Amino acid sequence: MMTVILAFASVVAVSLVSLVGLVTIAMDEARVRRLSTLFISLAVGALLGDAFIHLIPGIFETGAAGKAPLSASLLILGGMMLFFVVEKLLQHRHGVLYDYFHGAGTGGRPELAVINVLGDAVHNFIDGAVIGASYLVSPTLGVSTTLAVLLHEIPQEFGDFGILIHSGLSVRRALLVNLGSASVAILGTALSLSLGSIAKETVTATLVPLTAGGFVYLAAADLIPELQHDRSLRGLIVQTLLILAGIVVMGLLTVVE
């Protein structure tokens, strides 16, 4: 019972990191939207760093639960294609979001928010499953894994918040959506504690490669083009430094994992 309590307490603490956007709640909306470009730069580095430093190497180190390298590679590419198809469907003029948002003339990019939340929710589910599985091994491993996930989530949640703001959501709605996405981790922990090693193998074999591909697609196809609108030298320097900062943070997290 104590293992279950510790596991759920840990995943709730990790989920609450999604509220980092509260630091901007006292700012006016226009200033937050200007800051969103900086958050997006950080998100690019965090997403690419997470995919290429953590997720993809982990897939091939573990053999993706017995899968051949080709199968794992195809799943990563499948994740990229899945996000591409989802975004195209959301952008379609007869899609469920097109009339609601574009007809209102908001000028936002609701499809960007949706695919970001989709990818983040899957990733949070994986984090929750990993936390639950680590507590099944030992409380010490559970605590160390929780710390690693917590440190890993801080830069990414700042980036996710910036993406939601940039896509047209208000600060309050972005906070709620981010919290809802983060709370999916609780489901991952519950499933992991219920099914044990079976859940861990499923997560490693399928969800991790799909998420890695989705993160690469989101950073390269959606976020980097958004940064290209600022063609100033100052923008180049600031964006490059923030992207590198996101990558460096993800790299440094390997020390505690």
Looking at residue 22, what is its pLDDT? 79
pLDDT above 90 coverage of the chain, percent = 18
Residue 36 banded pLDDT, cuts 50, 70, 90 = confident
Does the residue 41 lie in any domain? yes
Looking at residue 169, what is its pLDDT? 84
Containing 51, the helix (H) or strand (E) segment is none
Tell me which residue has tokens 């990191």.
Answer: 17
Does the residue 187 lie in any domain? yes
- Taking only the tens place, the pLDDT of each residue in 188-235 is 899 888 876 666 666 667 777 887 888 898 889 888 988 898 889 999
Q: Is pLDDT of 249 > 50?
A: yes
**Minimum mean pLDDT range among 21-35, 46-60, 86-100, 153-167:** 86-100
Does the residue 12 lie in any domain? no
DSSP state of 230: -
How many folded domains does the chain comprise? Answer: 1
Tell me which residue has tokens 């809802």.
Answer: 180
Does the residue 9 lie in any domain? no
Looking at residue 238, what is its pLDDT? 95
What is the mean predicted confidence (pLDDT) over 129-140? 76
Does the residue 4 lie in any domain? no
CA 105 remoteness from chain centre: 28
Q: Is pLDDT of 106 > 50?
A: no
Q: Is pLDDT of 252 > 60?
A: yes
Nearest to 75 by CA among 64, 62, 86: 64
Does the residue 17 lie in any domain? no
Nearest to 248 by CA among 52, 7, 36: 52
- In whole angstroms, give the CA distance from residue 45 to residue 219: 8
Give backbone dihedrals phi and psi of 239, rounded to 5 degrees, phi first.
-65, -40
What is the mean predicted confidence (pLDDT) over 138-159? 73
Residue 26 banded pLDDT, cuts 50, 70, 90 = low
Q: Is pLDDT of 104 > 50?
A: no
What is the mean predicted confidence (pLDDT) over 145-171? 77
Q: Which domain holds residue 245?
A: 28-255
- Across the chain, mean pLDDT equals 79
Does the residue 165 lie in any domain? yes
Does the residue 82 lie in any domain? yes
**Do residues 215 and 47 touch, judged by C-beta distance below 8 A?**
yes
What is the mean predicted confidence (pLDDT) over 125-142? 77
Token duo for residue 177: 């959506």
- Taking only the tens place, the pLDDT of each residue in 45-102 is 888 988 898 888 878 876 554 567 888 899 999 989 988 887 777 666 555 555 544 5
- In whole angstroms, give the CA distance from residue 212 to residue 228: 23
Containing 25, the helix (H) or strand (E) segment is none
CA distances from 8 to 84, 139, 143, 146, 223 (A): 34, 12, 12, 11, 33
